[in-house]
């Protein structure tokens, strides 16, 4: 029997003498990096598709909401002869158009985030279009009120409601802070206030607010006087605009 402990045979060599393992290690490293890049590319593509899908869903939601509000407003004239019921959040208030700016948007009751994703919003408690007081509306600068960046003194703003049509003329524009609740406070006569964020080209939540003030030129109806607005509730609403 052979005594294995006394064997002097050299160990079996699977690689020839002088074999350099560095190139093989580099190949494995490159393969690992490639696999990581492939997975990273896939994740970025999925994230991009998810973002595109989210934006498309928001656009579709806004389009559907605008059509629904227009249909509701078209059916509402039959109720104009009677006393108008109290507006509920999300109810259509008016169709707001600025012919010189090609701006055309349905305004809904409320200025919460969900409402402003679907259209312009009417500040609860402020006057309705054509009524004495300060009819106040808001919308995002990167969607429905983007065109307000080109508005100027003398521009006409039209509001069509279930109770008539009203034409306003812009008297001033100004920039204020996000806590300037006085811009939606009651005013003498029949005036209109539009609020959006500023600057228009700001990336992310904008630090200031752009205000358009207009005065009523004419109306097809005579509306009743509305109750004074509660401006204390407007502060968080103005800050929530972006």
Q: Determine, yes or no, domain membership for 7.
A: no
Q: Determine, yes or no, domain membership for 105.
A: yes
Q: Determine, yes or no, domain membership for 140.
A: yes
The whole domain housing 230 covers: 63-79+90-240
Token digits for 84?
């108008």
Give the rounded percent of residues in the chain with a pLDDT score beyond 90. Answer: 50
Token digits for 96?
């707001």
pLDDT of 23 = 67
pLDDT of 225 = 38
Q: Determine, yes or no, domain membership for 21.
A: no
Q: Determine, yes or no, domain membership for 95.
A: yes
| CA-to-CA dists, residue 108 to 6, 23, 128, 206, 229, angstroms | 96, 68, 11, 23, 17
Domains in the chain, number:
1
Query: Cβ(105)–Cβ(151) under 8 Å?
Result: no
pLDDT of 125 = 92
- The residues pairing with 153 across neighbouring beta strands, listed in sequence order, are none
Q: Which residue has the higher pLDDT, 122 or 234?
A: 122
Q: Determine, yes or no, domain membership for 20.
A: no
pLDDT of 211 = 97
Token digits for 232?
């204390």
Q: Determine, yes or no, domain membership for 37.
A: no
- Per residue in 101-146, pLDDT (tens digit) is 999 999 999 999 999 999 999 999 999 999 999 999 999 999 999 9
pLDDT of 73 = 74
Q: Region 18-43: what's the mean pLDDT?
A: 71
Give the rounded percent of residues in the chain with a pLDDT score beyond 70. Answer: 68
- Per residue in 77-89, pLDDT (tens digit) is 555 555 556 788 9
| CATH number of the domain to which 207 belongs | 2.40.260.10
**Over 80: is that where the pLDDT of 188 sits?**
yes
pLDDT of 86 = 79
- Per residue in 160-183, pLDDT (tens digit) is 998 899 999 999 999 999 999 999
Average pLDDT, the chain: 80
pLDDT of 148 = 96
Q: Determine, yes or no, domain membership for 32.
A: no
Q: Region 41-57: what's the mean pLDDT?
A: 72
């Amino acid at each position: 029997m052979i005594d294995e402990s006394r064997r002097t045979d050299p160990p079996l060599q699977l690689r020839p003498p002088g074999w350099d393992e560095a190139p093989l290690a580099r190949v494995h490293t490159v393969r690992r990096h490639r696999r990581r890049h492939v997975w990273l590319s896939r994740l970025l593509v999925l994230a991009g598709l998810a973002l595109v899908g989210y934006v498309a869903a928001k656009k579709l939601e806004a389009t559907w909401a605008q059509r629904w509000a227009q249909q509701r407003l078209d059916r509402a004239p039959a109720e104009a002869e009677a006393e108008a019921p109290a507006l509920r959040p999300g109810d259509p208030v008016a169709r707001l158009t600025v012919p010189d700016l090609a701006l055309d948007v349905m305004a809904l009751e409320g200025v919460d985030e969900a409402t402003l994703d679907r259209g312009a919003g009417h500040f609860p408690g402020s006057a309705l279009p054509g009524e004495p007081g300060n009819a106040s509306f808001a919308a995002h600068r990167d969607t429905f009120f983007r065109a307000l960046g080109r508005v100027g003194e003398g521009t006409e703003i039209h509001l069509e409601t279930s109770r008539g049509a009203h034409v306003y003329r812009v008297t001033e524009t100004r920039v204020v802070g996000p806590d300037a609740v006085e811009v939606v406070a009651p005013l003498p006569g029949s005036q209109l206030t539009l609020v959006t964020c500023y600057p228009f080209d700001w990336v992310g939540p904008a630090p200031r607010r752009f205000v358009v003030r207009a005065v009523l030129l004419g109306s097809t109806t005579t509306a009743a006087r509305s109750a004074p607005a509660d401006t204390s509730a407007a502060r968080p609403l103005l800050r929530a605009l972006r």
